[in-house]
Amino acid sequence: MKPLHFPCKKYSTKITSLGLALVLLISLASPTSSCTEQEKGSLLQFLAELSQDGGLATSWKENGTECCAWEGITCGADGAVTDVLLALKDLKGGVSPSLGNLAGLLRLNLSHNSLTGVLPLELLSSSSIIILDVSFNHLNGEMQELPSSTYARPLQVLNISSNLLRRQFPSSITWEAMNNLVALNASNNSFTGQIPSHFCISSPSLAVLDLCYNQFTGSIPPELGNCSKLRVLNAGHNNLNGTVPNELFNASLLEYLSLPDNVIEGVLDGSQIVKLGNMVTLDLGGNNFSGKIPDSIGQLGRLEELHLHQNKMSGELPSSLSNCTNLISINFKSNYFNGELSKVNFSTLPKLKTLDLLYNNFSGTVPKSLYSCSNLTALRLSGNNLHGQLSTRIGDLKHLTFLSLAMNSFTNITNALHVLKRCPNLNTLLMGHNFRGELMPEDDFIGGFENLQVLALNDCPLFGKMPLWISKLANLEMLILYNNQLTGSIPSWIKDLKHLFYLDISNNSLTGEIPANLMDTPMLHSEKTIFELPVYSGRSLQYRIRIAFAKMLDLSNNKLSGEIPLEIGQLESLVSLNLSFNELTGQIPISICNLTNLLVLDFSNNSLTGAIPAALNSLHFLSAFNISINDLEGPIPSGGQFNTFQNSSFDGNPKLCGSTLTQKCGPASTPPVTIMASKQTDYKVPFVIAFSLFFGVGVLYDQTILSRYLG
């Protein structure tokens, strides 16, 4: 039979879903269609309750009256609708309970739309649905409980993750009725209350339980240990406390146990952990775990990811760790681990890609066996007590992109650079707080480093000059050399670093003038402001960090002399400019008023003369301003940001006058009054504060992270 055709042209294309649905509903009358009138009605009712259907009404209309042929709908052999698969259809509005009337519906997938309102109880309590996926929508409100008399439901997969569901998570009553449940994903909502204890007593087949990114409290229910089929337990990023119950280790099929960022305490019991011989991922980071890593960890032969970071764990690493030959990622950062790293034979871990030991008390040298891990992409050993020289074998790590050795006692920087230039993929090299009192190598033959983007050699202190080899780092974006004892002038080749946008050479003994061609550095005056710190840019996405770095020029605390070059006005996207504590003379160039993105401007403690350019009040973002202790004169500009600066910004300039200063401006000028010089402030603090005020709190956090990397 020929399906009934709609006279499309007669209807306005602007017709609403509701209108069209009603029209469809009324005009569908083919007696031979295999789906029933009631099913059609239910589907059209669903359509009608949407506020935006993403073209679904049009598509269904074009496909005639036979609803089994409609886009996203599949019917079984008996003609009953079995599948409603409408993920990624740009649907908006509420989810109609009418879908619960589709008596043969097995699979309902509405994920990745913009559906709002509650999840209708009719769908949860459906006596046919086995897979229900409404993830990635904007469903809100509470999840309703099933009535306590509900008979066993067939639902096997329930994905309500990434919605806006909140308040109390459904209690055991609901889950008792779900005794066929295999996978429950409620992650990334705002559920509160305790994790229900009844899951596996009623749903013995539960294999996947994902409750991460919610606000669950209380402890992990010991009853979960009865989940004999459980493979995945993810309850990270909640407020769980207490200890991991020993019963949980009865769930011997567990492959993925992830509980990061809670307040769970206790020790890793070696006799329990061995029961989880199938474990692939163990993530307990960001909790209050203490004690040692048990020797029996070596029996977890399938282990790929071991993340114990940010806990209070201590002791030496067990040598049995080298038995976990499938390890890909180890993160032990921010604990109290100690002892020699050479206790572990890393050469048996050929798959290792990231090793993070930041902030522990490890001592000794870098174990030679580590150089066999040829797939290593990120290695962070910073913040320990390691010493010695780097082995030439580090050049065997051809995939290494991120290396941080900062805050240790490594020696021989010449050697370090010579061996590291053999790592062709290195893009981040952080080695500050090492090489105490050594000479900055001036060797022109340090080639390599083709991909280096970030170089930090701060706080050593290093003697010598800013070396020519740096000029050959063609991709360098951040150069961090503060707190050293470098002498000589700022080299004019600095302009050859075409990608440089962050230069911190403060706290050295650099002399001479600020080279005018520094302002020619292309990136310093181009528009690009977002920079992705290539931290851990390996496979493990977890370690990618996007940070909006401000363009920064910090030449403070040196012995620079001469005038501030006029060309400084070219650096229009500069966010922070610090020239304080130098011996600069002459006037503040009026071109400074071009730097309209400045948040921080510090010219304090120099010998600048003349007037403050009045047009500086047009720098609307300026939130930290300091020109104290110079020899400036005349009135302080008024208006704009200038009304917000404290007097201390201007202290120590006896010839300045202003309405808030002791010395008022005016025709009958009073004799100059000496104002006490302000103490040297930590110029990095106002920068971070100002910066975070501008870009939001998240950036303050990122800056803190950065300061950890750079040490």
DSSP labels, 42-53: HHHHHHHTEEE-
Residue among 605, 551, 553 nearest 580 (CA): 605
Q: Least distance to ligand NAG from the beta carbon of 470, Å?
A: 18
Closer residue to ligand NAG in complex, CB, 388/666: 388
The span from the CA of 135 to the CA of 131, in Å, is: 12
Q: Least distance to ligand NAG from the beta carbon of 660, Å?
A: 30
The span from the CA of 169 to the CA of 290, in Å, is: 30
Q: How large is the angle between the packed helices 684-695 and 697-710, nearest 10 degrees?
A: 140
Closer residue to ligand NAG in complex, CB, 69/693: 69
268 contact partners, CB below 8 Å, separation of at least 6:
284, 289, 291, 292, 293, 294, 297, 313
Closer residue to ligand NAG in complex, CB, 559/701: 701
Closer residue to ligand NAG in complex, CB, 135/630: 135
The span from the CA of 324 to the CA of 303, in Å, is: 6
Closer residue to ligand NAG in complex, CB, 263/468: 263
- Name the pairing type of β-strands 336-340 and 463-464: unpaired
Q: Least distance to ligand NAG from the beta carbon of 571, Å?
A: 9
Residues in the chain: 711
Q: Least distance to ligand NAG from the beta carbon of 540, Å?
A: 12
Torsion of CA 256, 260, 265, 266, to 10 degrees: 30
> What are 380's strand-pairing partners?
356, 404
Closer residue to ligand NAG in complex, CB, 179/649: 179
604 contact partners, CB below 8 Å, separation of at least 6:
580, 581, 626, 627, 628, 629, 630, 678
Closer residue to ligand NAG in complex, CB, 570/647: 570
DSSP H or E stretch at residue 709:
helix 697-710
Closer residue to ligand NAG in complex, CB, 255/602: 255
The span from the CA of 260 to the CA of 448, in Å, is: 39
Closer residue to ligand NAG in complex, CB, 185/334: 185
Closer residue to ligand NAG in complex, CB, 184/710: 184
DSSP labels, 71-86: TTEEE-TTS-EEEEE-
Closer residue to ligand NAG in complex, CB, 158/505: 158
Q: Least distance to ligand NAG from the beta carbon of 525, Å?
A: 9
Structure tokens at 481: 């050399």
Q: Least distance to ligand NAG from the beta carbon of 52, Å?
A: 17
On the CB side of 185, CA atoms within 13 Å amount to: 15
Structure tokens at 446: 């340090």
Q: Least distance to ligand NAG from the beta carbon of 678, Å?
A: 30
Structure tokens at 677: 């010089």
Q: Least distance to ligand NAG from the beta carbon of 50, Å?
A: 17
Q: Least distance to ligand NAG from the beta carbon of 72, Å?
A: 9
Name the H helices within 388-533: 413-420
What residues line the site for ligand NAG (CB under 6 A)? 59, 62-63, 69, 71, 87-88, 109, 111-112, 131, 133, 135-136, 157, 159, 161-162, 183, 185, 187-188, 208, 210, 217-218, 222-223, 225-226, 232, 234, 241-242, 246-247, 250, 295, 298-299, 320, 323, 350-351, 375, 412, 414-415, 418, 566, 569-570, 591, 594
Give yes or no for a contact between 130 and 157, defined as CB atoms under 8 angstroms apart: yes
Say how many Å lie between the first and final Cα of the chain, rounded: 77
Closer residue to ligand NAG in complex, CB, 230/486: 230
What region does 291 belong to: left with phi over 0, alpha with psi -120 to 50, or beta?
left
Q: Least distance to ligand NAG from the beta carbon of 30, Å?
A: 15
Give yes or no for a contact between 322 and 349, defined as CB atoms under 8 angstroms apart: yes
Q: Least distance to ligand NAG from the beta carbon of 442, Å?
A: 13
Structure tokens at 483: 């707190």
Closer residue to ligand NAG in complex, CB, 37/247: 247
Closer residue to ligand NAG in complex, CB, 525/708: 525
Amino acid at 323: N
Rounded alpha-carbon distances, angstroms, from residue 636 to 192, 321, 581, 612: 55, 65, 21, 7
Residue 543 dihedral angles phi and psi, to the nearest 5°? -95, 0
Amino acid at 33: S
Q: What is the C-alpha radius of gyration for the chain, rounded to an integer number of angstroms? A: 33
Q: Least distance to ligand NAG from the beta carbon of 221, Å?
A: 8
Closer residue to ligand NAG in complex, CB, 314/540: 540
Q: Least distance to ligand NAG from the beta carbon of 213, Å?
A: 7
Q: Least distance to ligand NAG from the beta carbon of 417, Å?
A: 9
Give the other-Cβ count within 10 Å of 2's Cβ.
7
Closer residue to ligand NAG in complex, CB, 539/664: 539
Q: Which residue is nearest to ligand NAG (CB)?
A: 569
Structure tokens at 202: 């009623």
Q: Least distance to ligand NAG from the beta carbon of 672, Å?
A: 31
The span from the CA of 420 to the CA of 497, in Å, is: 20
Q: Least distance to ligand NAG from the beta carbon of 84, Å?
A: 11
Dihedral of alpha carbons 59, 63, 67, 68, sign: negative
Give yes or no for a contact between 571 and 525, defined as CB atoms under 8 angstroms apart: yes
The span from the CA of 383 to the CA of 404, in Å, is: 9
